[in-house]
Amino acid sequence: MPLELVTIPCLSDNYAFLLVNDQGEAALVDAPEAAPVNAELAKRGLTLTTVLLTHHHDDHIQGLAGLNTAPVQRVIGAAADAHRLPPLTEKVSEGDHITVLGEDVVIFDVSGHTVGHIAFHFPASGYVFTGDSLMAFGCGRLFEGTPGQMYQSLSKLAALPDDTLVCSGHEYTAANGRFAVTMAPNDPAVAARNAETDRLRSAGAFTVPSTLALEKATNPFLRAPDCASFTKLRIAKDRF
């Protein structure tokens, strides 16, 4: 059975994610804000054992200190980013395998948005936690890395199975969709996704996670055929 996935809205537009096994144990991916996570843990009577951190930006780590739980046994983040993260119990790098809630997890280096950004792939459950690298209908702004780094990072993620759920860090889908349609104004898949995004948001529902198949069909950054094309797209999005 796959681990249960719980999407938790935090701050104005962030997401944290809980993974839950059938023993009532939970792992948290990113900690933008403590209160919503604490409320979900309490409501479900869960024991938080593990925190996975994708990158060092405050809106992904600042809630860690406020979690109402016994000291978390494991706090896992990138070795390359350890100097900017909260104290880690485990430092990981590209290609490492760890076990979380009994499941194998593969580490990807997805630098671009930041250098040292990582993603966590749970192949048995079919989840990938991408932080601010691959996002719903878009990708993260390049604050530290290069277009080449981000293009390579997205290429790695695009090679995962199409039914993988992409758990990204923000509710940016509507804004990303407004850009996507300018890049593909006659694409029915892009138009349909924008319409579905509007419907979901009007109903107060999340657009995250999304499937990798949907991203490959509609996300302009995953459809870029080469790094040069990706670079032009990223510059256009930054100016949009």
Residues noted as catalytic: 55, 57, 59-60, 113, 132, 170
| CA nearest neighbour of 155 among 224, 104, 204 | 224
DSSP 116: T
Give the whole-angstrom CA distance, residue 177 versus residue 197: 8
Say which residues have a Cβ less than 8 Å from residue 49's Cβ, sequence separation at least 6: 25, 26, 27, 72, 73, 74, 101
Cα separations in angstroms, 142 against 6, 105, 134, 204, 235: 28, 26, 12, 29, 10
| CA nearest neighbour of 67 among 37, 89, 103 | 37
Upper half-sphere CA count for residue 76 (Cβ side, 13 Å): 22
